[in-house]
Amino acid sequence: PAVDGNVRRVLARFFDEERPGPAWLRGVARETLSRDRPGDWNQALMELGSTVCKPRSPRCDRCPVSSWCAAYALGTVDERPASPKRREVKKSVVTLAVFHCKGEVFLQRRPDSGLLAGLWAFPESGHEIASAYAVHLGLRPMGEHTALPPVEHRFTHLHVRYEPTMLEVDRDEKVGGDGERGRWVGLDDLEDLVLPVAQRKVFESCLEHLE
């Protein structure tokens, strides 16, 4: 039996099934299918769903099977089938360290698995302030921190607020030289580098402060 959205809605209301899953639908569709005229039966259910048993404002007064409809009898027509539960969107705050030195910025490659896997991005300093994280990487902080405007980005089920801090550093040639811990990229070269959307916005903000 063919089960489209219209048929699903008709059967869910007829049997007052709140959340008709695939297995339930297949079973009920087989049990109710007309053995003599299966094609006409399927077509009739589809048309009933599209013209009478509509998602909104169903025309129950014109429905030929309303007398046997469980949802109609219980007054739950508008609630059947129930809307799918939305997955909770988690929120996260990520602190970025934007280190710059002589027209270059420091990037790190993200892990090979997880969010934005394998892409180059500004380092995430966690709970450390930018200067402390710079020392951790072997960089020498110079001057004061500059807080850049936060950038918010929505992934499928995650809302991230990036809080970037810019800091000038004196670089050690050993840091970022082999590409394992990171790399230094010229501001002009960064234009052609593939960066995640939010990181690109951070970069543009960085440019505005350095110009």
Q: Decide if 198 contacts 151 (C-beta within 8 A).
A: yes
Q: Where in the chain are the domains?
A: 5-79, 90-210
Dump pLDDT digits (tens) for 32-75. 888 888 888 889 999 999 999 999 999 999 999 999 999 999 99
Please identify every stretch of the chain with a pLDDT value under 50, giving residue numbers as ranges.
Answer: 177-178
Looking at beta carbons, which pairs linking 27-31 to residues 24 or more positions away fall under 8 Å? Answer: 29/1, 29/3, 30/1
Element containing residue 121 per DSSP (H, E): strand 120-121
* pLDDT given at position 151: 94
pTM over 0.85: no
Task: Give pLDDT, residue 86.
Answer: 72
Rounded CA-CA distance 27/34 in Å is 14
- For 125, the 3-state DSSP assignment is coil
Give the model's pLDDT for residue 57. 92
Superfamily covering domain 90-210: Nucleoside Triphosphate Pyrophosphohydrolase (3.90.79.10)
Phi, psi of 112 (to 5 degrees): -75, -10
- Position 178 scores a pLDDT of 44
Confidence (pLDDT) at 172: 67
Looking at CATH, the fold of the domain delimited by 5-79 is given as Endonuclease Iii, domain 2 (1.10.1670)
Per-residue tokens: 17: 């099934």
What percentage of the chain's residues is helix, strand, coil (to nearest 5)?
A: 35, 25, 40
